[in-house]
Amino acid sequence: MPLEPAFDWHCLHAEKGAPPRASDSRRRIRICLAGFLGLLAMVFGRVVQLEWTQGAAFRYQAGRPIEVRHGVPGVRGRILARDGTVLARDEEKPALAVHYRWLQEPPDPRWLRLTARSRLSRRERTDPDRVAAEEARLHAERAEVMRGLARLAGLSADEWQRRSQRIQARVERISDSVNRRRFAAGNVERARDGRGEPPRPPTWLGRLGSCVLDFLRASMDEPPARRMIVAEELDYHVVAEDVPLAVVAEIQSRPDRYPCVQIVHRARRAYPQGRLAAHVLGYVGAVPSREAGGRDLHHPDDRVGRTGIELQYDRLLRGTRGEAVEWTDRSGRILTSYRQREPGIGRDVVLTLDTQLQRAAEELVESARHRRAALQAEGEPAGAAIVVMDVRNGAILAAASAPAYDPNVFAGGEASEIEPLMHDPAHPLFDRVLQMAIPPGSVFKTVSAMALLEASAVAPTEPFFCRGYLHHPDRWRCAIFTRHASGHGEVNLADALAQSCNVYFFHHAGRMGPEPLVRWASRFGIGRTTGVDLPYESSGTLPMPSTIVEIEGHPWRAADTQALAIGQGSLRVTPLQVARMMAAVANGGRLVTPHLACALGLPELPADATAADGTEPAEPAEPGDDPLRVAPAVAIPDLDAGTLAAVREGLERVVSDPSGTAYATVALDSVAIAGKTGTAETGPGRAEHAWFAGYAPAHHPQVAFVVVVEHGGDAASGAGPIARRLVDRMQRQGYFARAYRTATAESPVAR
């Protein structure tokens, strides 16, 4: 069978009878080339036009220095004692600041590449191997410079790395926050734009432009690929403070060896008296992350008060931020700098503290703590507290808490020194004066006696026979019965206070009921904060029939009334509350507001304008604009003068009567003391808390004071000797021989 001839496909493209034609593309190439040359001519013309009209302006801007603005922290005001002793102040110290890119690990690839290329010539930058070698050399140089700086600053390599990591973590948090908000804002805007299809431009040119923009624009579903660089990534960060002058000279004399370092001067908080009044003063720290960037605290490098007076009066002490301006060339070299706005200086705060008495009180509580710590079981806290208050106006003359700490540790910010304080089982950061809420024991019988008399449950001279226990020998007993198997015999109210007869208060309080006890305890400030100008004060706990279920999980019982009458059960008080209570007994029944700040001073002046001792005399604030105004003393309602006199008689006999519980350990020949011992039970197998609360002189009171030793055992031996030495120290300082400037010649009780 013959094969069919192959089909000729060319015949489909050729006219019948005409040879096939080849396609010629030269014409289209010439058209494209002409269009390209036209566009190039337009660009060249625009370049010529810019050079002709604005070339000089562009060259001027390119050579113009770059302006960089920096915030300058304000100077905090001083804290002074009433005698002018400086307790806290800012000191300007040189600090070592390193550029963030040199601290960052791993280094930013873009910065590393650009910095390496800037060190090469224009011809060398075209060689990838040469650029890579320069990047490796820069990487090694970074490590060597960091090691050298660590040695100069006296830091180990690990400590330098920890500080660098803290700086990097902070900068990364700021960068993440900024970029997160930026991306979120972009997503919201894109979502808003995508709610409806925008109308197409009506002209063909507009449609063409829209297509080009859609092609060039990133997808709406994806965030911008490139993160925004925040200012902190281009700034210098302090790694070491208070560097020696030799280090400053080394770095400033060899800028080529330390290209990433600046010496800056920073104000550092200093506490010249060390541990003295540490809990009262508190310390400063970094701005909490929730406040950084806020209206008042707008810079993470600010230092603010975290506890004590530093926190309470932070707005007064804190200075306003200034602004410094630096002009640099394009390579980052500083050409000139100046202060656009000088930082402000905060106000001085003057305290009511007596530095000599405060130091004596701290020595006493520290010695008591060490003595009890040697006798206590392992794991039990060994703390003590003393507070001394002016009974007339509530001015705190001494407030000692042991163990104490050195607030300079927090000013330095060394984690290796701060961490042990945080985990110390003795809790040195815990202010026992206003935060330690524990049972007061028999000290509370002062309030119980007031309630008994005001409720007419007993007359001051009404006798009661104490056999050592209430109903059964194994419960509701006096301490004398547990030691000697005997009672106090016939006693009246003053005897019961002087000899601390539990059975007397068990019996009469049980008959009276809880309401008068709770009412009078509340009137003397128990169960609520005192209003002292210090943060984090504990309110303690005053159990009531209406709250006992929440506290102990059962309804009020007769046993709760009897326990409350002797300061046990769920009752919890602070030493400051007890001092306020005793001040009210001493001053004739007026409840004062404890306070520490008494005046505002002027900001510290330059050295040539200060007094010879380096301090500027404080001036009280204007009466009409006084941020330190203290609430006036409030008379305790319905308190009869006869009731107060009967209770005061019993408190005086606690110390002056040979049968009184504090006669052997507290009584002094030089000054009459009134007060009450308190031995508060803490549970089986644990030593009791030892209290002594009183006032002096007994007949013309000027000061109220409280001594408490955690797990100090019997109050007479655990707290009594400390109280005696405290009053003796005040006597030798002349407290009771001279009149206070604010006092009158009359006794407050007589008024």
Average pLDDT score over residue span 395-404: 96
- The one-letter amino acid at 384: A
Average pLDDT score over residue span 471-500: 92
b (16+ CB within 10 A) / e for 697-711: bbebbbbbbbbbbbb
DSSP string, 185-205: HHHHHHHHHTTSPPPPPSSHH
> What's the CA gap between 68 and 52, in Å, rounded?
31
Residue carrying structure tokens 């808490």: 401
> What's the CA gap between 377 and 388, in Å, rounded?
30
> What's the CA gap between 615 and 272, in Å, rounded?
13
> What's the CA gap between 267 and 346, in Å, rounded?
13
> What's the CA gap between 403 and 419, in Å, rounded?
16
CB atoms within 10 A of CB 732: 12
Which residues 6+ apart lie within 8 Å of 39 measured at CB?
none
Q: How much is the pLDDT for 330?
A: 63
Report the alpha-carbon angle 387-389-390, nearest 5.
165
Q: Tell me: the pLDDT tens digits for 252-293?
A: 888 888 888 888 877 889 999 999 999 999 999 877 655 544
Query: What single-letter DSSP state applies at residue 545?
Result: T
- Across the chain, mean pLDDT equals 84
Domain spanning 358-406+433-603+626-732, CATH class: alpha beta
The CA–CA distances, whole Å, from 197 to 193, 194, 200, 215, 216 equal: 8, 7, 9, 17, 19
- The one-letter amino acid at 489: G
Q: How much is the pLDDT for 59?
A: 79
Q: Is 606 helix (H, G, I), strand (E, B) or coil?
A: coil
**Across the beta sheet with 396-402, what order do the strands follow?**
396-402, 384-390, 703-709, 689-696, 674-680
> Residue 249 has which token pair?
């000279």
pLDDT > 80? residue 379: no
The CA–CA distances, whole Å, from 714 to 475, 651, 689, 692 equal: 19, 18, 8, 10
pLDDT > 80? residue 625: no
Q: Tell me: the pLDDT tens digits for 333-361?
A: 667 777 788 888 899 999 999 999 999 99
Q: How much is the pLDDT for 123?
A: 86
What dihedral do alpha carbons 452, 454, 458, 460 form, nearest 10°? Answer: 100
> What's the CA gap between 737 and 346, in Å, rounded?
38
pLDDT > 70? residue 738: no
Q: How much is the pLDDT for 338?
A: 77
Please give the residue that has the higher pLDDT: either 581 or 8. Answer: 581
> What's the CA gap between 149 and 159, in Å, rounded?
12
Please give the residue that has the higher pLDDT: either 100 or 193. Answer: 100
Average pLDDT score over residue span 591-608: 76
pTM equals 0.78
Q: How much is the pLDDT for 638?
A: 93
> What's the CA gap between 460 and 445, in Å, rounded?
14
Q: How much is the pLDDT for 4?
A: 57
Crossing angle of helices 128-153 and 109-118, rounded to 10°: 100
CB atoms within 10 A of CB 254: 11
pLDDT > 50? residue 657: yes
pLDDT > 90? residue 20: no
pLDDT > 60? residue 470: yes
Q: Tell me: the pLDDT tens digits for 510-540?
A: 999 999 999 999 999 999 999 999 999 999 9
b (16+ CB within 10 A) / e for 608-634: eeeeeeebbebeebeeeeeebebeebe
CB atoms within 10 A of CB 271: 23
**Least confident interval from 186-195, 481-490, 493-502:** 186-195
10 Å CB burial of residue 510 (0-12, 13-18, 19+) is: middle
> What's the CA gap between 616 and 610, in Å, rounded?
5
The CA–CA distances, whole Å, from 69 to 235, 338, 341, 673, 729 equal: 11, 10, 11, 63, 55
C-beta separation of 679 from 659 below 8 A? no
Bridge partners for 265 per DSSP? 94
Please, which pLDDT band fits residue 618 given cuts at 50, 70 and 90?
A: very low
Please, which pLDDT band fits residue 227 given cuts at 50, 70 and 90?
A: confident
pLDDT > 70? residue 220: no
- Looking at 198-354, list the stretches that DSSP marks H as alpha helix, in order from N- to C-terminal side: 204-216, 245-253, 278-281, 308-312, 314-317
Tell me whether strands 703-709 and 384-390 are parallel, antiparallel or unpaired: antiparallel
C-beta separation of 381 from 689 below 8 A? no
pLDDT > 50? residue 296: no
Domain range annotation of the chain: 63-85+273-350, 100-189+206-246, 358-406+433-603+626-732
C-beta separation of 489 from 466 below 8 A? yes
Tell me whether strands 674-680 and 689-696 are parallel, antiparallel or unpaired: antiparallel
> What's the CA gap between 750 and 584, in Å, rounded?
14
Please, which pLDDT band fits residue 616 given cuts at 50, 70 and 90?
A: very low
**Percent of the chain residues topping a pLDDT of 90:** 46
Q: Is 700 helix (H, G, I), strand (E, B) or coil?
A: coil
Which residues 6+ apart lie within 8 Å of 158 measured at CB?
none
- Fold classification of 63-85+273-350 is Penicillin-binding protein 2a (Domain 2) (3.90.1310)
> What's the CA gap between 721 and 732, in Å, rounded?
16
Bridge partners for 286 per DSSP? 303
> Residue 558 has which token pair?
């007769």
